[in-house]
Structure 1
Amino acid sequence: MTKIDRCLVDSAWLFSHPTSSAEFLPHGVSDHSPILVSWHDHHSKARPFRFSNHWIQHKDFKSVVDSVWDEVIYADPMNALSLKLKKLKERLRIWAKSNGTFLQKRVLEAKSELFFLQDQLQAQPYDAPLAAQERLAMKKYGTLARAELDDLQKKSDCMWLKFGDRCTSYYHNVIKERRNMSWIWSITTTEGNKLNQQNEVCAEFVQNYKGLMGTSATTNIPDNFYEQLDIK
């Protein structure tokens, strides 16, 4: 059977209703299946730590890393390394909120500043200080634009992004689509019951894997067990 039914939405819908989903019901005697569009309760959780490549280009990045790495931790080498990595993750997370985020906004501001200086330079082409400011603004905008491109490439996972033109709206839509695809909004149990609530879905997954892995058991070993072993 060929699936001829589709539920089409645009980027405005995805932005307004990020937790919506479509379910195709049995078609019965018709050639088309009814489509049930639903909204799901979504309780956002803390995002996992992700390192952004453009952080390396920031002037304060190395000092943040050094401040954590120079701390003295009294533990064996492996535990000391693990503790330092955990501390570094939290320190970078806090630092990124004030320095690494709002990258798109910073790119737009740098671009506006560059265009403003270039307009002034056209009216005053022999102004040396103004030309120096324009070169610095060009360097700043180029650095931020490359950082934004690297960040979007990492999030959108589009291989041809390396060779194509940057289209911010497209890449942001790709990122939203990937996030929505990673969520499981509803499942049907082995008994045929459909679960839509997030806590019910999570509990069903846990129960299912408990059934696959089994439950814990207590093994009683006799006191003379090792004496009965014939070890040569």
Structure 2
Amino acid sequence: MSGPWITWNVRGLGESTKREAVKKAVLHVKPELLLLQETKLNDQRQHIVETWTQALRMSHAEVHSVGSAGGLMCLWRESSIRVLSVVSDVWFIFLTVMISNIEQPVLVGNVYGPHSLAERRLCFEALKTHILNHDGLVFLGGDFNAVLLGSERSSGGVLDAGDEAFQQFVQVTNLADLPLANGEYTWYSSRNDGLWSRLDRWLVSDEVLLSFSNISQNVFDWNVSDHRAVGLLFGLLDAGPKPFYYFNHWADEAGFNELVEAWWHSAVYQGWSGYVLQQKLKGLRGKIREWRKGRGAWGVEKIVSLEHRLQGVMEALENQGGTEALTKERRDILEALWRAYREEERIWRQKSRVRWLKEGDRNTKYFHRVCKVRTVKKNITQLKYEGRLLTTPLEIKQAMQDHFQNFFRTSEVPRPWLQNVNLRKVTTAENQLLEAAFTIDEIWEVVKNFDGNRAPGPDGRIVVSKKKLSVYKLLAKVLSVRLSLVLPGLLSQNQFAFTAGRQIADCSLIASEIVHSMSSRPEGGLLFKIDFAKAYDSVE
């Protein structure tokens, strides 16, 4: 789809000036689908609707306002969206549509949530019925007059009963709330020195996330309404070269382990140990990629090829009879097909980082869904850096690199010196322990406790003995075990944060007790609050 899908509470289209401003904004964005709430147009103003929608060159369906309150309108471009049916109520309009590249009907809902709690609950119950009765993709946009989190209101606080009803509705229907890429709030009121909330949004089913490779939710600039328009953007994201990942099922492939072991022992590099390890890993990555390309089709492509071959063999068996050659070929194809299915399941289980024995599901579609939902929710499509909004992957990568390079760069500034302070130091024996060469026992202990399906390091994964893990993570874990033997003697009794057996919340409790004690003493006291900036975020 080339254009965005937009939902917008326009807060009235009765005035010609307002209609013209909204039309100008819509023509500038060129949406394929537009959902409007609070049009405030009753059945006596039908001529206005017809004229306005013709100017936008969009077809429409609407729910008239009750007096001067409410009103909904859905507009779409027939060149890309074919409407099969329309179901409407005072609070919502549901369109069942066909869109390009999607073979099954899609349900699109336009919602304006009522203000009263009783009506809101009735509204969510009706929405739930329509959504759960639809088998396929679901898009639900609108002004829900509720939030999902306390942080979605500038005033913060706990959720009220209406918010909890909305939250329960989202959970029951299993709809995904995509993060708002370039904003925080969608509604503003000047009451009480300014109130901000995220009342407007798109909710989508998991099937939507599986069907579109890159989908994001953005807000548009403030306009004539006190609500911002919220858009769903569909498009391809070119994030540059893909990183190398090791898949666990490769270790079960014939000849793979022998290939890795033979190459590792044959590769010779000169230099210090860290450099040699780095070069071997880079070379091994290239060797595995060559092996991977030489295997031909794999994953879904391999399954489709095998299924096509099986269909041909079955037709030949039906026409020619059960010859020995055809029977053997069918048996070989079935064996390869089952192996391909198992490989595909293991790939998606590893990508999703979900252990099916815990989750109670051993289904490739389930793992695929978990992986896609996580990818979409964590995808960074926009980044605000130094007052500029960055939208391309190249700009975002460069901004991240610049930020962390500047953050960790050593700065030549005067620093205070501590004199006559007896700080605990690492002893010679402890230093030798930390710097000693890794032993087989240390490495093997880490390998035994490592989950090969989770959290790859930045270098991908390689094979170590019978387990698969990141070399980066292996080195870090061995060092962390050694540090855990030394740190208890170095840490002050006043150190609470990030320390085993201690709670950072204790700091607040102790400070509160001190303040209370000082305030209850007649002579009072003097209290210094000292912040050590970047205590855990900087190497300095």
Q: Taking structure 2 as the reference length, what is the TM-score of the superposition?
A: 0.32
Q: Hey, what's the Cα distance between the residues in 2 that align with 1:40 and 1:120? A: 43
Structure whose residues are more often helix by fraction: 1
Residue 251 of structure 2: aligned partner: 56
**1:195 shift after superposition:** 1.3
Cα deviation 1:187-214 (Å, max 9, x = unaligned)? 345x7x3412445544554555466546
Cα RMSD (Å): 4.1
* Secondary structure at the counterpart of residue 6 of structure 1: strand
Shift of 1:41: 9.4
Change (3 A) 1:112 1:14: closer
Using the TM superposition, give the Cα deviation of residue 100 of structure 1 relative to its aligned residue in structure 2, in angstroms.
Answer: 6.5
Aligned to 1:166: 364
Looking at structure 1, the residues matched to 269 and 225 of structure 2 have their Cα atoms a distance apart, in angstroms, of 73
Is the 8 Å Cα contact of residues 186 and 194 (structure 1) preserved in structure 2? no
Which range moves more in the overlay, 81-90 or 59-68? 59-68
Name the counterpart of 2:28. none
Whether 1:14 aligns to 2:209 is no
Task: Give runs of aligned pairs for residues 145-160 of structure 1, distance below 5 A.
Answer: 145-160=341-356
Specify whether residues 203 and 111 from structure 1 end up closer, same or farther in structure 2 by C-alpha distance, changes over 3 A only. closer
For residue 195 of structure 1, the aligned residue among 373, 389, 398 is 389
Q: CA deviation at 1:125?
A: 7.1
Match status 1:143 vs 2:339: yes
Other-structure match for 2:134: none
Q: Distance in 2 between matches of 1:19 and 1:201?
A: 17
Amino acid at match of 1:157: R
What's 1:35 paired with?
230
Which string of whole-angstrom CA distances, capped at 9 and with x for unpartnered residues, describes residues 156-202 of structure 1?
334448734333xx75565444434443233345x7x3412445544
Does the aligned pair in 1 maintain the 2:349–2:364 contact within 8 Å?
no
1:87 corresponds to which residue? 283
Task: Report the structure number with the largest CA radius of gyration.
Answer: 2
Q: 2:412 aligns with which of 200, 204, 217?
A: 217
What is residue 224 of structure 1 aligned with on the other side? none
- Structure 2 Cα separation of the partners of residues 101 and 121 of structure 1: 26
- 1:222 equivalent in structure 2: none
Where in structure 2 are the equivalents of 1:93-112 lying within 5 Å? 93-99=289-295, 102-112=298-308
- Residues 41, 127 of structure 1: alpha-carbon distance in 2 compared, 3 angstrom cutoff: closer
For 1:77 and 1:142, locate their aligned partners in 2 and report how far apart those are by CA, in whole Å: 46
Q: Post-superposition shift, 1:99?
A: 2.1
Give 2:212's aligned amino acid. Answer: L
Q: Which amino acid aligns with 2:390?
A: N
Q: 1:73 corresponds to which letter in structure 2?
A: V
Distance 1:48 1:122, change over 3 A: same
Which moved further from structure 2: 85-94 or 143-152?
85-94
Letter matched to residue 301 of structure 2? K
After superposition, give the CA deviation of every residue in 1:120-153 in whole Å (9 maximum; x if it has no partner): 5567776444333322222111111111111121
CA apart distance, 1:105: 1.1
Q: Percent identity?
A: 22
Q: Is the 8 A contact 1:23 1:35 kept in 2?
A: yes
Higher strand share: 2
The answer (yes or no) to whether the contact 1:25–1:36 under 8 Å persists in 2 is: no
Q: Distance in 1 between matches of 2:326 and 2:297?
A: 30
Q: Which amino acid aligns with 1:165?
A: N
Higher relative CO (CA 8 A, sep ≥ 6), structure 1 or 2?
Answer: 1
SS in structure 2 opposite 1:50?
A: coil
* d(CA) in 1 for partners of 2:202, 2:323: 59
Q: Could you say if the C-alpha distance between residues 210 and 47 of structure 1 is closer, same or farther in structure 2, counting changes exceeding 3 Å?
A: closer
Structure 1 contact 65–88 (Cα < 8 Å) conserved = yes
| Partners of 1:111 and 1:141 within 8 A in 2 | yes
Work out whether residues 302 and 340 of structure 2, in 8 Å CA contact, stay in contact via their aligned partners in 1. yes
* Amino acid in the other structure paired with 1:135: R
Residue in 1 aligned with 2:64? none
1:86: Cα distance to partner? 2.3
Secondary structure of the structure 2 residue equivalent to 1:51: coil
Structure 2 match to 1:227: none
Change (3 A) 1:134 1:74: same
Letter in 2 for 1:34: A
Partner of 2:310: 114
In the TM superposition, what is the alpha-carbon distance from 1:39 to its structure 2 partner?
7.6
Cα distance in 2, alignment partners of residues 53 and 77 from structure 1: 30
